[in-house]
Structure 1
Amino acid sequence: MDFRVLGPFEVRDADTVVSLGGPRQRAVLARLVIAVGAVVSTDTLIDDLYQGTPPATALASLHVYVSNLRRAIEPGRTPRTPPQLLIARRPGYLLDTSDVDALRFAALVADAEHRPSEQALPRLDEALGLWRGTPYGEFSGELWAVTEVNRLSELRLVAIERRAEALLDLGRPQAVINDLESQTTRHPLRERLWWLLALALYRSGRQADALATLRRVRKLIVQQLGLDPGPELQSLEDDILQQAHSLTAPANRVSPAPTVL
């Protein structure tokens, strides 16, 4: 079973989407996925499901939800055999699986961090390709999900930035401009995105556009925060005005074609 949370919450068995039942039953499973193999107490599950005002039948309903979920995610389990995925363990339940797209995503981003750009790029592309929308979909606004949704969203931005850095390092600034323009629109106060966009424009031979970009973000930060841009943006603007050698793209790393005799 493949548990997918980087977008609408779903479970897949190969190419088939598993039916998980109604909203509260689905929420039980999503809450257990967030716990990453840790036990979630029945009290916590009930409190999260009913937002602090559970009915008298809440515990019985929770047991029904768990029973139904076990049948859905372990369809081949024979009667009276212990469950392998959704396990009862005092004082509640845990989901014993590492087949979660969010875990694969985080591992790929971490693996790419210390690799050279040509090795980091395919890992970051694979990681970002796992995303399908807002993490945890219908549950993204629930109090028990918000912290994890924000963590994953931040890590996605880090991956986008590292991917742009890798492409710039490989001498491919044109490949990142459109994506960075889109990301700065969505995250207008994230200075690193603006820095990368201005550098990509400069390395694409668009010095005037790079400077206009830096002026735009300066105005935006002053208007919204009453602050000047951070030192990295200010230093980049000075370097562009001086056409500093440090802004030059790295040498092409592509190996020369072999000589044909």
Structure 2
Amino acid sequence: MNAAPPLPLQDLGQLIQDGRQPSKGKPALLLALVAEAALIGLLLWESNRSTPPPPPALPPMTLQLVQPEPPKPLPPAPPKPKPTPTPPRQVAPKPTPRPILRPAPRPTPAPIKTVTPPSPLPSPVQAPPPPPVKETPPPSPPPVSAAVKTDYLAQVKGAIQAAVHFPEAARMLGQSGKVLVRFYLQDGRISRVSIVQKGSLDDFNAAALAAVRQAKLPPVPAGLQGKSFDLQVWVEFVLHDS
């Protein structure tokens, strides 16, 4: 059964306004109540018409596990081809050796006679070489007198004594002394210096060796050049009163 269409809102409002007037009495009040009820129904009807119907409920879904398909069997491998047998190699027959033909022997030629040339004339006799000339050694220097040697050695001893430096420690102690020194002398050069007898102080020994090595020797005489002397000299340390 279809419901009657509701009244327009303007007519309902007019009816409500007319029913609220006090001059109409009770019928007018009832009419106003009816109009309000109609207005509420109209509003509900409008709200129901504007609301969309709910969506239809979806049917329940069921999940089903899908089992994987079993692997397909592989096709059988093709059979391997059989190797074809290799035919045996045919060995060629060895050639027959041919006979070796040797040449006929040649006749030996007659020996040729060689003519010897005449012997050359004898060469003239060469004179023997002259005998080597013997080099005569330079004349030896005249022998040196003993006086020259003694004078030269005295000059050497004087040069050594002149090179003596008195040790300062011995000077402060007021001591004197002497040292016996041995050395070799050749061509104005002194070598292999050593002490034969030490002095009373070690400073005397060191000063004596220094005096022998630092002495200014005199020139070597002509007759004493090339000769060596093994000498022993007393180096004296005398404290002079100042």
For the aligned pair, the TM-score class normalised by the smaller chain equals under 0.3
Computing the radius of gyration over CA atoms, which structure comes out larger, 1 or 2?
A: 2
More strand by share: 2
More helix by share: 1
TM-score normalised by L of structure 2: 0.17
TM-score normalised by L of structure 1: 0.16
